[in-house]
Amino acid sequence: DTPDMLISLINLLQTIDSWELNKIKDTIMAVAKERGKKLAAIAQPIRIALVGGSSSPGVFDLVAILGKAESLRRIELLLEYIQ
């Protein structure tokens, strides 16, 4: 379930043209909602992908600060690792 959720997230994040906090937040929340999951179900894997652990600042802020290319790269690396 987590790999499929991350694939959906990657696909949607790739479509964001203007890398803004609100668009990132809406995208991540849309994936959780579409999967019938709570935000934590997707935020925790994203957090692990971005910082390598389960403790960090807000996941939306992390994605915004790291930027599109780096965020996607790290999420894709986690996806490869868990598949």
Res 32: pLDDT: 95
Q: How many CB atoms are located within 10 Å of the residue 78 CB?
A: 18
| pTM, rounded to two decimals | 0.91
Res 10: pLDDT: 97
Q: How many CB atoms are located within 10 Å of the residue 37 CB?
A: 15
Question: Does residue 12 contact residue 30 with C-beta atoms inside 8 Å?
Answer: yes
- Give pLDDT tens digits along the chain (83 positions): 899 999 999 999 999 999 999 999 999 999 999 999 999 999 999 999 999 988 888 999 999 999 999 999 999 999 999 98
- How far is the C-alpha of 10 from the C-alpha of 55, rounded, in Å? 22
Question: Does residue 81 contact residue 48 with C-beta atoms inside 8 Å?
Answer: no
φ, ψ at 59 (rounded to 5°): -65, -35
Question: Does residue 47 contact residue 56 with C-beta atoms inside 8 Å?
Answer: yes
Res 68: pLDDT: 97
